[in-house]
Structures are given as structure tokens and as C-alpha cells.
Amino acid sequence: MNQKIMPQDLWLDLLKIRSQAPLIHSITNFVAMNFNANILLALGASPVMAHSIEEVEDMVGIAQSLVLNIGTLEPDWIYAMRLAKTKAHIRGLPVILDPVGAGATPYRSQCVEELISKDPPNIIRGNASEIMSVAGLSGFTKGVDSSIASDDAILAAFTLAKKINGVVCISGKIDHVVDHLGQHAMLSNGSPLMTKVTGVGCSATAIIGAFSAVQPNFFRATLGAMAYLSVAGEVAAKKTILSGSGSGTYQINLLDAIELLEQSDFNSQLNMKFFHKI
Amino acid sequence: MNQKIMPQDLWLDLLKIRSQAPLIHSITNFVAMNFNANILLALGASPVMAHSIEEVEDMVGIAQSLVLNIGTLEPDWIYAMRLAKTKAHIRGLPVILDPVGAGATPYRSQCVEELISKDPPNIIRGNASEIMSVAGLSGFTKGVDSSIASDDAILAAFTLAKKINGVVCISGKIDHVVDHLGQHAMLSNGSPLMTKVTGVGCSATAIIGAFSAVQPNFFRATLGAMAYLSVAGEVAAKKTILSGSGSGTYQINLLDAIELLEQSDFNSQLNMKFFHKI
Amino acid sequence: MNQKIMPQDLWLDLLKIRSQAPLIHSITNFVAMNFNANILLALGASPVMAHSIEEVEDMVGIAQSLVLNIGTLEPDWIYAMRLAKTKAHIRGLPVILDPVGAGATPYRSQCVEELISKDPPNIIRGNASEIMSVAGLSGFTKGVDSSIASDDAILAAFTLAKKINGVVCISGKIDHVVDHLGQHAMLSNGSPLMTKVTGVGCSATAIIGAFSAVQPNFFRATLGAMAYLSVAGEVAAKKTILSGSGSGTYQINLLDAIELLEQSDFNSQLNMKFFHKI
């Protein structure tokens, strides 16, 4: 029963990240690399970025999870992702995929298909249109914007979760986390300011990488990551707006909140709902 | 008559960006990617970065303008830029070129020559030495520094504008915007702090990408972009200096100002002059 | 006698950077590029990033020092580093190597070996495990974390300094600078917050690039760079902690401190010790 997952459980996973500082190996896009690394450091994890086919497998060999992000993909990088993913599966490491801009170009869709058709990732996170596209449904993707998940998108997430035998997260104004067993949770935290800083979505995926490195229940790990980021994002937004500042300041406040968020605020502000299995 | 361009016209173009959120496809350098994306988001546009030859044409196919920046060029990227540029011309999209470091190395100059010799960009923005170099005049480029435009540089800009049948902007302490029809405008806003943050010049070009996506008069679009950035840059500088802070804080204040600048400040602070056609 | 190096000597070198704005050519990793460029600008130097084999030698031809960083290495980049290094040696330019993650993967170790076996760099900076790995000693590298240098690590640094006939710096809670002549200095400044921002280590190496561009005594140049960064890092940390902020704010405060640090604070806070030659 997923109702057993309580805020304090998610907080325990966070404490594990802080005490164990798991090494998160990211093969990610050029735009978000720096911000993602800083988000992981603020969280208490250890980021490492390595994409060369000469070393990706060895780097996976010392990592605790693998995050793949196709934001600025190219053939060599996709090949490196496949090598890394295979090694991660052999080692039993969690693999998390961020299908940035899936559906925007045929090449992007084809690369995602390659990455999920064999040895699929354990967890996929995207916005509604990306998840619909990856699930094989239409859904025009305008750049990498987030949007509100329709019922169709949630059904697509369940379809995709079954296909990969894992967890799918649709992030947006409301975040949905579903899995292949029919579990479904919903988070109503966050702030529109999160869409005004590039790489926040990619960072959500990186944070899932950190939570899944310490929590083998990937539904719970994904939920913990999204819950932590969205509450921190809300706290940072309140501070930003209160000071009359904008998206530049928000980027900094978000990093601060990721590092300094307190359990009492997390517990009191978290707005999490579970649904019956479908 | 270019004298008809008033601050309120430029502000109307900004409002169009905010309401339409045009998708700006950038093939740009590794150093400025993150900052440029955040600048475009703060402005209200939608950034997308994609450089793989497998998808650049398709990405241009859904974009509203194309920004090319050679800051960290290499052969595959230049080839991708050419593919993207051709597709943009077929679609009638504005193409904006930032010849970062033109003249610093023969390879850089040769790549710029390739990019402007056939299907030239509609708009080119650079500092004085870069524009002189692209126009075929000497002018030693030390890194990517900005400087003050001499009369020679302005003449070079006119020559180049005629060559590409478009608009050329020399940015620096004073910004000059000229076009193939002989129009010439000058902006005396901005702050020396803008040269202490990497990628501000590249962001100027990205912002031109956003304005030209909503305003088909490219002289006006370029002017609007440079005017908006330089007034925002001035507002951000005042705030930074007043608080006794430095270039780190300035980077954040600039992003905030890009997002939050008000029309009354824009109108009252804008220092814009037009010259008779030459 | 190295005891002759006084804080005011190091400050003189800083003033030379500010007045000469030397061009520092970095071939560095994707994660730290933006931050490194901003650190160099805050310091008063001129950063340029160029990695294409078509132009690296020409870019070295106009630079005042060359910084190589293998954080996100791949074969083409290593090849470009070799070309650039050879050109730098011909021109007599200082070459500084940051062996990020050395020992983490065989490929990384092999690339470092390639870079130091012929025409070695003049200066190498890394954390204790990286330096031990480069010196040929074991030392497991978990990502790119810093740590405290053991006696073994310091001996490794001396061994490596003799091998390259130059200077080796181990950075960490305490920074050690040693050279092939047996000189050894120790800095006890800095803050743990420096490990919570990605690219601070890489920036240390970039700053060494700037100091060595104006100071031909590379032991003194390395010491000056590490002293300046660690005192600025300490000043920024105090400000960050006092305001109840976290690692996001720290990144900004560090850039501000690099730009605005005053000589009186540098002199009074610098904790520098010299040892007898071994």
C-alpha cells in the first residue's frame, strides 16, 4: 500500500543522501550541467559528469546511480548513454532518463526509443508532452516547457511505466508519480518561478538520481525527490517574491533552499496525495 | 524614416515576446549556454539549444528565429550552423550571427566567412574589433573584449550591412545599430559591469533573436534588443553598486532586471539617437 | 630562500593581473567553463575558451598562459590539449594542468600520463587523491571531492614536482604548494563552503593560470593564486553564513570577493607558512 509513504520516510531518504553522499553519474546536456552539479552538491550528493565512450563504463563502475538526459544530444553521446546504461544494469544501479524535448524532432524521439527499447531505465521524468511523446502518443513539444498533465498524459504515464516496468513522473504545476504496479501519487507544491530558470526540470531528474541511489523503492525515491524539490522550490519562491526579486535571484534562492530546507517546513508544507491503484 | 522608432514601439515588441514566448533556437558556445537560456527565459522567450546535424533542421522547423554563435566553434558545429541557416532561410526565419572572437584565429575568421558568404545572416552583432574583422578590415581581437567603436569600425559596420543586406550592431560603451539602407542609431546606456560577466555579449545576440522573432523590421528589432538589455544592464548596475556588491551579484541583478524592468524606467532612461542616412 | 615571499609580493602580482588583463586560454570541462570564465573576469584577467584542433595553436599564439582541465575529457579534446601544450612550450608560456578525477577511471589516468610524459606542464593542481594518482601512487578518487593531504600525499607532490620539474599544488582544507627545488608552503585559509560549489577547484587552477601569466616564478605564482582564492573564499563564507544563506549565495559572494577583496583583508587574514627545503 503506497499510503504508507509518509513525509518522514522521504526525509529519512534525504538524510541518507547527506550522510552517504552517493556518487551520481550524469550524462547530461551542456545547458544544465553546471546547475545540476550545484543542485546535487547542495543536496549533499556527489556529482560526476563523464560522457566519453572511453570511460563511461568505468565511471558507472564507481557510481551509485546513472542519470541520462538528452537535452543537447548527439550520436556519440547517445552511444555513450547506451554503454553506460548497459553497465548500470549489470551492476544493478538505478538508471533515470530525462527525455528532454522528446517529440520536438524525429531524431530526439528515435534516440529516446533506442534508450528505452532494451534494458529500459528504471525511472523516466518529463513534462506532460514529453511523457506523451515517449509513450507513443502525439503531443507537440514546444521546446522544453512544462505544462499541466491532462488525463491522457496520466494514462500515457501508466502505459509507459508498464512498458519500462518502472516509475514515470510527469512534472508540472502538479507532479504525478506513477508506476507499473498502478501506484499513483500527486504533489501540489512548487512555483511558476521554477519554469523561469533553465535546468530545473533536469535538476529534478538529477535529484531522483540521488534519492534512488539510497532508496531501492523507486516509486518512493522518485516521490521523495519531487517532494523535496517542489517544497524547496516553493520556499525559495516565497523568499524571492517577498524581496521583490526575479528569476536570477530565484536560481540562487533555490540552491540555498535545497541545501538548507528544514524538516519542519518540509512536513508542514508538503501537499502529497495518493490514489487507489488503477 | 527611422526617427519614427520610439521607445514605446520597442516596448510593444517586448510585450509581444512576453505574450508569444517565441522559440529561439540557439547554436551557441559552451560557456554562455546556461546564461543565455536564463536571459531568454527572464525576457519571456523560450530557449532551445540543439546542435546535432541529425536534428538541427527539424528544430529550426519549429523555431521562430535562429541564433548562431561561434564562441567555442568546431567543424561539426559549423556544419550544423550551415544546415540550420539554410533551413531558416527556406522558412523565412531571422538568422542572427555572433562572430565571437572573429580575427583572433584564422579558423574563426574562415568560419565566419563561410557563414556570411552564402545565405548570409539577417543580423550580425559583435564588438568593434569583431565587426571590423568580419568586414575584412584588420583589428586585433584580444579574446572577446568589448571596446569603443571608432569611425573606422562604424564604416566597417555599414560595409558589412550592405554585404549581408541586413543589420549590423557594434556593441560597446556605446552601441551602434546600422543597416544596408543607411539607417544608424546609437545607444548610450549600459554599464562597465556588463563586461565583467561572461556571456553578456552573447546574450545581447540571443535577445536580438527574440526581438526579431516578433518584429520583422530587423533594424527596429535589433535596436529594441540592445535598448532593452542596456537599460536593464544600467538598472542592475546601479543596484549592484549601491549595495557594495560585485560582478557575481551583478549577474543575478541583470537577470532580475531583464525580467522585471518597467516601461516607465525604460522610457525615462533610454538614451537613443538617430542619424541621418549616409 | 622562499621565506622572502611576503603577502605584499603576492598582492603585487594580483595588481599586475588587474592592470595587464592577461589572456588565459583554457581548454576545460563543460561543467566549470562558465564559472571559470566569470572567476577570471572578476579577478581582472581575460578568459578565452577554445578547443578545436583547427585553432588551439593559434589561440595559444595570442594567449599569456594555457590551462588544461580534464574534467569532461574525450579523445579530440585531449589531442587539442597536446597541440596547445606543445605550442605553449615553444612560446615559453606557462602551462597549468588540472587532473580532475585522475584515478577515477583508467582512461583519465592514461590521458594525464600522456599530458605529463612529454613537455610536462609547469604546474599541476589537484586534490590529494588526484595528486597521488598522478604521481603513480594509489588513492581512490571518489568523483572530484577534495580531502586532507596526508604525509604520503605531500611526498607524492614532491615526487611529481621533480618529475615535471615544476610546481605541484594539493588543495584541500589546507593547501600545499611544493616544487622541484624542495620548496614547500602551506595555506590554512578557505572554507568548507568551497566544496559545495562545483568548479571552485577548477577555478583555482584557472587563477593559477592568471598569476603565472604575470609572475615567472611559478612557485610564487601558484602560492599567490591559492592565497588569493582561499582568503576570498573565507571572506565570502563569513558573509554567507552571517546572512543565513547557503551554497547558492556562496557562489555569488565568492565571485564578488574575488573582484572586491582588499589588500588589508588579504594581508591580515592570510595564514601562510613556509617549510625548510627537504
pLDDT digits (tens, 9 = 90+) for B66-122: 999 999 999 999 999 999 999 999 999 999 999 999 999 999 999 999 999 999 999
Measured in angstroms, the CA of A248 and the nearest CA of chain C are apart by 11
Which of A71, A39, A98, A37 lies closest to A228, judged by CA?
A39
d(CA A43, CA A29): 20
* Grid cell of B165 as nine digits: 543586406
Q: Contact C104/A62, CB-based, under 8 Å?
A: yes
- For residue A51, pLDDT over 70 is answered with yes
Range list of β-strands (E), B157-271: 167-170, 175-179, 184-187
What the block records as the C-alpha cell of C16 is 599586475
Q: What mean pLDDT do residues C174-194 have?
A: 97
Q: Chain A to chain C, count of Cβ pairs less than 8 Å apart?
A: 95
Q: What is the mean pLDDT of residues C220-240?
A: 98
User: Dihedral, CA atoms, C18, C21, C27, C29, nearest 10 degrees?
Assistant: 40
Among C92, C34, C28, which Cα is nearest to C63's? C92
Q: What is the band of A1 on the pLDDT scale with cuts at 50, 70, 90?
A: very low
Residues B133, B102 contacting (CB under 8 angstroms): yes
What are the tens digits of pLDDT across the range A123-136?
A: 999 999 999 999 99
Does residue A148 register a pLDDT over 70? no
pLDDT of C146 strictly over 80: no
Among the listed residues B166, B188, B216, the one whose alpha carbon sits nearest the alpha carbon of residue B64: B216
State mean pLDDT over C69-75.
97
User: Dihedral angle at the C-alpha atoms of B111, B117, B119, B125, nearest 10 degrees?
Assistant: 60
pLDDT at C144: 43
Between C101 and A140, residue with greater pLDDT: C101
Residue B83 to residue B95: CA distance in whole angstroms: 12
Lowest mean pLDDT among B94-108, B127-141, B159-173, B236-250: B127-141
The yes-or-no verdict on residue B145 having pLDDT over 50 is: no
C38 and C15 Cβ atoms separated by less than 8 Å: no
What percent of chain B lies above the pLDDT cut of 70?
94
- The reported pLDDT for the residue numbered C165 is 98
Question: Taking 70 as the threshold, does the pLDDT of residue B1 lie above it?
Answer: no
Is the model more confident about B233 or about A140?
Answer: B233
In chain C, residues with a C-beta closer than 8 Å to the C-beta of B108 are: 55
Radius of gyration of chain B (CA): 17
The mean predicted confidence, pLDDT, of chain A is: 94
- C208 close to C123: Cβ distance less than 8 angstroms: yes
Q: Is the pLDDT of residue B142 over 90?
A: no
Q: Three-state secondary structure along chain A? A: CHHHCCHHHHHHHHHHHHHHCCEEEEECCCCCHHHHHHHHHHHCCEEEECCCCCCHHHHHCCCCEEEEECCCCCHHHHHHHHHHHHHHHHHCCCEEEECCCECCEHHHHHHHHHHHHCCCCCEEEECHHHHHHHCCCCCCCCCCCCCCCCHHHHHHHHHHHHHHCCEEEECCCCEEEEECCCCEEEECCCCHHHHHCCCHHHHHHHHHHHHHHHCCCHHHHHHHHHHHHHHHHHHHHHHHHHCCCCHHHHHHHHHHHHHHCCHHHHHHHCCEEEECCC
Task: For residue B127, give how far its alpha carbon lies from the nearest alpha carbon of chain C (Å).
Answer: 15
CA angle, residues B100, B105, B110, in degrees to nearest 5: 80
How high is the pLDDT of residue C148?
64
Please state, in angstroms and rounded to a whole number, the distance separating the CA atoms of residues A61 and B129. Answer: 49
> Subunits with at least 3 CB pairs below 8 A relative to chain B?
A, C
pLDDT of B147 > 90? The answer is: no
Contact between C71 and A49 using a beta-carbon 8 Å cutoff = yes
Region C232-261 average pLDDT: 98
Sign of CA dihedral C117, C120, C121, C124: positive
Looking at residue C2, its pLDDT comes to: 47
Q: What is the CA radius of gyration of chain A?
A: 17
Question: Which pLDDT score is estimated for A140?
Answer: 53
- Residue that is written with C-alpha cell 604548494 in the block: C177
* Burial group, residue A265, by CB count within 10 angstroms (0-12, 13-18, 19+): middle
Of C274, C276, C273, C187, the residue nearest C233 (C-alpha) = C187
**Cell 539554410 maps to which residue?**
B86
Q: Which of C49, C61, C252 sits opposite B72 (nearest CB)?
A: C49
Give residue A139's pLDDT.
55
Cell 527539424 found at: B58
Residue B144 exposure: Cα atoms within 13 Å on the Cβ side = 31
Amino acid C147: pLDDT: 58
Residue C21 confidence (pLDDT) above 50: yes
pTM reported for the whole predicted model = 0.96
Give chain A positions within 8 Å (CB) of B251.
248
Which chains border C (3 or more CB–CB pairs < 8 Å)? A, B
Residue A78 confidence (pLDDT) above 90: yes
Measure CB to CB from residue C58 to each of B29, B105, B197 and give the nearest one: B105
Rounded mean pLDDT, B44-61: 98
In whole angstroms, give the CA distance from residue A51 to residue A48.
10
Asked if residue B3 has pLDDT above 90, the reply is no
Considering chain C, what is the average pLDDT of its residues? Answer: 94
What is the least distance, in Å, from the CA of B219 to any CA of chain A?
A: 27
Q: In the predicted model, is pLDDT for residue A276 greater than 80?
A: no
Question: What's the pLDDT score for residue A143?
Answer: 43
Kindly state the percentage of chain C with pLDDT values over 70: 94
Say which of B47, B58, B259 has its CB closest to residue A198: B47
Provide the H-helix boundaries in chain C: 7-20, 33-43, 56-60, 75-91, 106-117, 128-134, 151-164, 200-214, 218-242, 247-260, 263-269
Cell of C242: 552571517
Task: With CB atoms and an 8 Å threshold, state whether A55 touches C251.
Answer: no
Contacts of C149 (CB under 8 A, 6+ apart): C128, C131, C157, C170, C172, C174, C176
Contact (CB, 8 A) for A127 and A173: no
Phi-psi region of B136 (alpha: psi -120 to 50; beta: other; left: phi over 0): left
Chain A residues in contact with B259 (beta carbon < 8 A): 196, 246-248
* A123 or B3, higher pLDDT: A123
Helix (H, G, I), strand (E, B) or coil at B68: strand
Would you state the pLDDT for residue C150?
84
With beta carbons less than 8 A apart as the criterion, state whether B46 and B86 touch: no
Please state, as a whole number, how many other Cβ atoms lie within 10 Å of the Cβ of residue B163: 17
* Domain definitions of chain C by residue range: 2-275
With 60 as the cut, is the pLDDT of residue B141 above it?
no
Among C23, C38, C47, beta carbon nearest to B247:
C38
Instruction: Let me know: does B45 contact B178? Beta carbons within 8 Å.
Output: no
CB < 8 Å to A36, chain B: none
pLDDT for residue A155 is more than 90: yes
- B135 CA to centre of own chain: 17
CB contact under 8 A, B37 and A198: yes
Instruction: Flag whether pLDDT at B245 surpasses 90.
Output: yes
Please give the full DSSP string across C196-241, using - where no structure is assigned: GSTTHHHHHHHHHHHHHHH-S-HHHHHHHHHHHHHHHHHHHHHHHH
pLDDT value, residue B2: 46
Which of the residues C74, C127, C239 would you substitute to probe the A interface, choosing the one with the greatest number of A C-beta atoms within 10 Å? C74
Do C54 and B107 touch, CB atoms closer than 8 A?
Answer: yes
Q: Are B11 and B179 in contact (CB under 8 A)?
A: no
Q: How far is CA C178 from the centre of its chain?
A: 13
What is the amino acid identity at position B169?
A: C
Chain B: closest CA distance from residue A234 (Å): 18
CB neighbour burial string for C84-104, b if at least 16 within 10 angstroms, e if fewer = bbbbbbeeebbbbbbbbbbbb
CATH number for the domain whose boundaries are B2-275: 3.40.1190.20
